[in-house]
Structure 1
Amino acid sequence: MNNKPFIIGIAGGSGSGKTFFLNCFLHHFKNDEVTLVSQDDYYIPVGEMTQEENRLYNFDLPSTIDNEQFNLDIRKLLKGEVIYKKEYNFNNPLAVVKILEISPAPIIIVEGLFILHFKEIAALLDHKIFVEAEESVALDRRVKRDGMERGYSEEDVLYKWHNHVVPSYKEFLLPYKEECNMVVMNNNNTPDEIIAITEKIALDLKAKFCLDN
């Protein structure tokens, strides 16, 4: 790769709608134009836990992430290298482990809760986007997601929300909001506004890198 890839960091708390924002953004590009590196795939394995242990374990701390490997892999992509790693299964022993193949591209998306907190990773980002939602909206999304996708009871979700999620968001993400190039408020579940925002960013980047429209 002759030109340095452009790295976009997308950060957002739980329930902010960051995943939907990402999917909309990626939809505007061909596969070889953009690649995604997700912080979720760098959780340090904790082994099998009982339901109660899982409830009490705080996944919302920077110490749960292998940030050194995360940083190393981003730098490999910058050098044009392909990286291979196991997909994180959210501590689900029944999940089929996939091996991810992440290829270099002109645009690299780095996303996650702590990407602005990890200084070496934050220093690599050319453009920072902060996705947020009102707390009541974010909590409602979290309850629905964890209930449907992960089988958590509402009691467990609320415990983690008040004891892990919100304190971590306020300490390790919110302080970096003002440093971001763009703040996206995502309270509505209607996609039109997010699609419009991501389309504008995508068109600007395609013009910058002379990619096909």
Structure 2
Amino acid sequence: MLVIGIAGGTGSGKTTVARSIMNKLGSTNVTLISQDNYYIHHNGLSFAERESINYDHPNAFENTLLLEHLMELREGRSVNIPVYDFSQHARSAETIRIDVKPIVLIEGIHVLTDEELRNALNIKVFVDTDPDVRILRRLTRDINERGRTLQSVFDQYLTTVKPMHDAFIEPSKKYADIIIPEGGENEIGISMLTILTERYMIDRAAAYEIG
């Protein structure tokens, strides 16, 4: 199984890049997992307390569970991953069944920040997009899809999003094997990554047959 990690700042286009690869290679060959689903479940806290958590810090994610699920998939077993409800800052009661497929894409802001998670990746990608574009995309997404207000998005950006990006996400770019500027707008970069993925799978299959 080939595991590709796709990191980058908020609104950089990580999900668009991942979905473009899935569309090119086919959903029967590719599974997409979002690190966002693995936000720690603070079910013992009130809504106000959950609302005040720094969700842009690496420690906001339960990467141990993500790694457990990845190990299960590598061993040929399907997993049920959590679903995160951003409007409630909590995990939903629902889960998503993930079946075993040749390629797993893991996308998220801190995919390259965590050393253990990095070591579990075969290919490490960083989507590098202009900060002005990223904040506008986040503003649109959080208001339209996550029930946030303009003021709350503005406050969160200044207090946690930008500081955490500068402290953790941007520095993690040094671990990337491939950097794709401008995210989903970069058709050439996406095509190159797709070709690399196909080549990798062919080489793995050939090595398996020889072995």
The 3-state SS of whatever aligns with 1:45 is coil
Output the CA distance in 1 between the equivalents of 2:132 and 2:138.
10
Q: How far 1:132 sits from its partner (Å)?
A: 2.0
Q: TM-score, normalised by structure 1?
A: 0.84
Percent identity, please. Answer: 27
Say which of 91, 110, 114 aligns to 2:110. 114
Aligned pairs, number: 202
In the alignment, structure 1 residue 140 sits paired with structure 2 residue 136: yes
Structure 1: unaligned runs, 5 residues or longer: none
Aligned pair partner of 1:18 in 14, 17, 34:
14
Q: Counterpart of 2:186 in structure 1: which amino acid?
A: I
Contact 2:79 2:98 (8 Å CA) reproduced: yes
SS where residue 12 of structure 2 aligns? coil
**Is the aligned partner of 1:85 residue 2:77?**
no
- Matched residue, 1:183: 179
- In structure 2, the partner of 1:46 is 42
* Distance (Å, rounded) in 2 between the aligned partners of 1:63 and 1:55: 16
- 2:16 counterpart letter in structure 1: F
Is residue 67 of structure 1 aligned with residue 63 of structure 2?
Answer: yes
* Gap regions ≥5 residues in structure 2: 204-211
2:5–2:125 Cα contact (<8 Å) kept: yes
The Cα shift of 1:168 comes to 1.1
Is 2:132 the partner of 1:157? no
Following superposition, the deviation at residue 31 of structure 1 comes to 2.3
Kept in 1, the 8 Å contact 2:18–2:32? The answer is no
Q: What is the TM-score of this pair, normalised by structure 2?
A: 0.85
1:135 to partner: Cα distance: 1.3
Match for residue 190 of structure 2? Answer: 198
Aligned counterpart for 1:209 among listed residues 201, 208, 211: 201
Moved more, 26-35 or 93-102: 93-102
Report the aligned-residue RMSD.
2.4
Q: Is the 8 A contact 1:15 1:142 kept in 2?
A: yes
Higher helix residue share: 2
Q: Distance in 2 between matches of 1:82 and 1:139?
A: 36
Deviations 1:52-105 (CA, angstroms, capped at 9, x unpaired): 555532111122211111111111111111111231122538997432111222
| Cα distance in 2, alignment partners of residues 19 and 194 from structure 1 | 13
Q: 2:197 is aligned with what amino acid?
A: L
